[in-house]
Structures are given as C-alpha cells and as structure tokens.
Amino acid sequence: MLYPCVERVMLITHRLSLNWSSIYSANYNLSGYQLVSPILGLAAYNAGGKSYPFEVGIRSAQGNSIAVNFTNPIDDPIVNPLCAIFEGDGKTVSLKPPISDRVCGSTSNGHFGLVVKLPPPAGSPPPAAVTAAGGGGRAAVWKVAVASSVGSALGIVLLGLLVVAMFAKVKKKARMVEMERRAYEEEALQVSMVGHVRAPVAAGTRTVPTIEHHFVHYNPK
C-alpha cells in the first residue's frame, strides 16, 4: 500500500558499500553494536505527476511482508546478527531479530543493515558471568557495608568528642566552685551582706584602756 496513493510509482533499491555505510554508523546511535553488512535500502518515488509529493511511502498490510536479504552481500559467517532499521529522521534506529538467516523483515520501506553486539572491554568480566556468580550482588553489599562502617565510625568519633567537651566543661565548673568555697572558708575577713551584695567586712576592734600609775609632780616656781 502506497501513501499517499499515486497512479505510478518508481521503486529504487540502494546498496551502499561499507565505506558509505559508515555514515550510518556515525550518525545513528549504535552504541554497543557494530555494523557488519552494507546498507540496503528501498525507496519509492512518484512517477505519475507533479501534484503529488515526490517521495512516497510503502506500508505493508501484513507484518514483515517486505524481506531484505543480506545473503549475497555477505559471504563470511555472522554469529547472532540483529536487523537494524534506520528511520528517516537521521538518528533513530530500531533493532530486532531477523526472520531467517541473514534476512530482515519490515512493514515499510527504508534502509536496513545487520549489526552484532560488541564484546566487553578487555579485562572486564562478562555481565552474564558476574550475574550468575552473584559477584555484582556481593560487590554492592560490600560497598554498602563499607559505607555504613565509615559512617558509624565518624558518628562514634563525633559523639566521643562531644562527651569529652561536656565532661571538661563540667569539671572546670566544679573546680571553680571548689576554689570559691575554699576562698570563703580561709578568708580572714568576715563576709556580710551589704544591701543585696555579699562583701567582706573587717571585724570591729577596740583598744583596751590602760591605767597609768606613774606620774610626774609639777612644782611651779
């Protein structure tokens, strides 16, 4: 089925070499995958008149009725390929399994290719092995345990510093109270209340009179 509907249509197939196919690898998001086939495309153009759009689309009423065969362009064996369907916006790509060996199915025209998943970087274990062995879960639990231990240690240190500071403050206050008590007990002056103020007051003293028994006679001349 054509959209929009036209009287005459011209079908053109594209086969881009790997050099030209690298344009699709650079522009479309194929992160984690590698293009291993040329780009094959199917385009439809209006050949009936000028009143309709120049490029038209092909839509299949039944699923995967358009088959794109990559058997002839590729002679080398490919392990577990996926079909890459490149959308016309220049950035969106869809991946799905082939309908048969090196044959991709589609419901519309466009550009297609085969991709394979890139192996993990050297030195890193495969994700499946880590998941099966439970290493990822153990690593996560280990990280949580270390973080909890560090947080607990910091909390204990801060709490200890706070207790030490409070103890030093209480001890200093008790020392000051003891010093004041001793000063009051050992002071020579009497402490009395003068109005609302407690102040030291000297004790009252009096000279005891002494009777003199010796005197000098006065002889006037």
**Read out DSSP for 171-207?**
HHHHHHHHHHHHHHHH-SSEEEEETTEEEEEPPP--P
Q: Which pLDDT score is estimated for 215?
A: 59
| pLDDT-flagged residues of the chain (< 50) | 129-134
Q: Which residues pair with 31 in a beta bridge?
A: none
State both tokens at 81.
């390929």
The neighbour count for residue 114, using CB atoms within 10 Å, is: 24
For the segment 9-66, what is each residue's pLDDT rounded down to a tens digit? Answer: 888 888 887 777 778 878 888 888 988 888 998 888 888 766 667 788 888 777 667 8
- Dmax (CA) for the chain in angstroms is 177
Q: Which pLDDT score is estimated for 112?
A: 92
Q: Which pLDDT score is estimated for 132?
A: 41
- Least Cα distance to 104 among 130, 125, 73, 76 occurs for 73
Residues in contact with 79: Cβ distance below 8 Å, sequence separation at least 6, in sequence order: 116
Whole-number Å distance between alpha carbons of 210 and 25 = 129
Q: Which pLDDT score is estimated for 116?
A: 92
Mean residue pLDDT of the chain comes to: 77
Q: Which pLDDT score is estimated for 149?
A: 81
